[in-house]
Amino acid sequence: MREVPFCKASLTEAEEKAVVEAMRSGWITKGPKTVEFEKKFAAKVNAAYAVGLNSCTAGLHLILEGLGVGPGDEVITTPVTFASTANVIIHTGAKVVFADVDPVNGNIDPNDVYKRITNDTKAVICVHLHGHPCEMDRLRDVCEERGIFLIEDAAHAPGADYKGEKCGSLADAASFSFYATKNITTGEGGMVTTHQADLAERIRVLSLHGLSKDAWKRYSPGGSAFYSVVAAGYKYNMNDLQAAMGLAQLERFDELQQRRSMLWQQYGYVLQGVEGIVLPHVSQDVTHACHIYAVRLKDEGCRDRVMSALREKGIYTQVHFVPLNKQPFYRALLGAEACRLKNAVDFTSSILSLPFYPDMLEEDLLYVADELKKAVAG
């Protein structure tokens, strides 16, 4: 039987060569490759500064801490996201407040954000779900009016743009993920981008134990053996093996995105007009990052049934996401009332992410589409 994985990283000889070269260079921790990757990635997303980290989660945590978010503060975010978007708020000691989402694309609803702002609200974290940019004009207006920070969880969004502006350059700061399943991978890894020099510097320092600027150079010939500890920082830095892989991926990025975009159109072409399948909606004024191809089915029962039927046919699908307002930890923490978010529940209960990755064979895509149609009809 044919097997179609949900996802597969596109890694070639170019990545292999880059990582081996980095190994042989003698510098395998944070070093010149990380600096080069930061520069090139920042340029790619039109941000002034970038800081390489070991995950997107670390980036979100450091952005909050770098902006001074802590106990007594509230941070508003979407429940339709991966756990870490909200977990990092808890790590700072601040309170998580969920806002409901747009019923069509599942992105955080700026009007609901507005309603949930209090005097304690310090920041909003928006997530460009599946690679579709959030409604940034309205979010920026709301945040500016109330004097609160806006942060992009851009884990799904490298390559996306909103009205011609790149995701990663649209707010106070953004965090990207280079986890194995994401559009660019370093195995594990992440990157914060921002236009603010002082914030970038604070994040850089916090990412390496709170050691003063450029302390990573302390083992290099010209580096100083002495450093100052200026904060109780974390061990969140990227290393040069990751950066070498990332640089090779970045070289191939346009090609990878083109391939994603082609497969996206192909799914649309073969699935459009099929009764019982709603295709992902893309606004006119954005470029979608084509990270996750998620369709919506009639209801939760149908979705779960289709998911198992496809699994029987060797097709692996996923759900992005079971919303955090349905997760036991957040229900217990926030209570049923704060977790009553109708659109988030409706949107995610019928959603199904189909196999989608740059090296996906067209025949596999057609097989998935065929079996999906049969399962939905059955």
Ligand X SMILES: *Cc1c(COP(=O)(O)O)cnc(C)c1O
Q: Name the residues annotated as catalytic.
A: 182
Window 329-348: contact mask with ligand X (x via CB under 6 A)? --------------------
Q: Closer CB to ligand X, residue 128 or residue 227?
A: 128
Per CB under 6 A, the segment of 76-84, 138-146, 210-218, 325-333 that binds ligand X is 76-84
Q: Closer CB to ligand X, residue 156 or residue 303?
A: 156
Q: Please report how close the Cβ of residue 160 comes to ligand X at its closest, in angstroms.
A: 13
Q: How many residues bind ligand X (CB under 6 A)?
A: 14
Q: Please report how close the Cβ of residue 40 comes to ligand X at its closest, in angstroms.
A: 19
Q: Please report how close the Cβ of residue 253 comes to ligand X at its closest, in angstroms.
A: 17
- β-strand partners of 287: 161
Q: Closer CB to ligand X, residue 166 or residue 364?
A: 166
Applying the rule CB under 6 A, the residues between 154 and 193 that interact with ligand X are 155-156, 177, 179, 190
Instruction: For residue 85, state whether it binds ligand X (rule: CB under 6 A).
Output: yes
Q: Please report how close the Cβ of residue 85 comes to ligand X at its closest, in angstroms.
A: 5
For residue 1, CA distances in Å to 22, 286, 306, 370 come to: 40, 39, 18, 15
Q: Closer CB to ligand X, residue 188 or residue 300?
A: 188
**How many CB atoms sit inside 10 A of residue 116's CB?**
15
Instruction: For residue 81, state whether it binds ligand X (rule: CB under 6 A).
Output: yes
Angle at 72 between CA 70 and CA 76, to 5 degrees: 75
Instruction: For residue 56, state whether it binds ligand X (rule: CB under 6 A).
Output: yes
End-to-end CA distance of the chain: 20
Cα torsion at 221, 225, 226, 230 (round to 10°)? 80
Binding-site member from 65, 135, 153, 161 for ligand X (CB under 6 A): 153
Q: Please report how close the Cβ of residue 294 comes to ligand X at its closest, in angstroms.
A: 12
Alpha-carbon Rg for the chain in angstroms: 21
Strands (E), 267-355: 286-287, 293-296, 351-354
Instruction: For residue 55, state whether it binds ligand X (rule: CB under 6 A).
Output: yes
Q: Closer CB to ligand X, residue 81 or residue 348?
A: 81
Q: Considering Cα of 354, then 360, then 362, then 364, what sign does the dihedral take?
A: negative
Q: Please report how close the Cβ of residue 175 comes to ligand X at its closest, in angstroms.
A: 7
Q: Closer CB to ligand X, residue 47 or residue 108?
A: 108
Per CB under 6 A, the segment of 63-71, 78-86, 97-105, 305-313 that binds ligand X is 78-86
Binding-site member from 37, 82, 162, 216 for ligand X (CB under 6 A): 82
For every residue of 8-55, DSSP letters joined together read -----HHHHHHHHHHHHTT--SSSHHHHHHHHHHHHHTT-SEEEEES-
Binding-site member from 127, 173, 215, 271 for ligand X (CB under 6 A): 127
Phi, psi of 127 (to 5 degrees): -125, 125
- β-strand partners of 315: 4
Q: Closer CB to ligand X, residue 179 or residue 330?
A: 179
For every residue of 271-284, DSSP letters joined together read HTT-TT-BPPP--T
- Helix 240-251 crosses helix 32-44 at what angle (to 10 degrees)? 40
Instruction: For residue 57, state whether it binds ligand X (rule: CB under 6 A).
Output: yes
Helices and strands, counts by H and E, the chain: 13, 12
Per CB under 6 A, the segment of 33-41, 81-89, 193-201, 349-357 that binds ligand X is 81-89
Per CB under 6 A, the segment of 77-85, 220-228, 306-314, 331-339 that binds ligand X is 77-85
For residue 89, CA distances in Å to 70, 94, 175, 190, 243 come to: 8, 6, 14, 18, 27
Instruction: For residue 242, state whether it binds ligand X (rule: CB under 6 A).
Output: no
CA dist 30 and 53 (Å) reads 9
Instruction: For residue 132, state whether it binds ligand X (rule: CB under 6 A).
Output: no
8 Å CB contact between 7 and 179: no
Q: Please report how close the Cβ of residue 81 comes to ligand X at its closest, in angstroms.
A: 5
Site for ligand X, rule CB under 6 A: 55-57, 81-82, 84-85, 127, 153, 155-156, 177, 179, 190
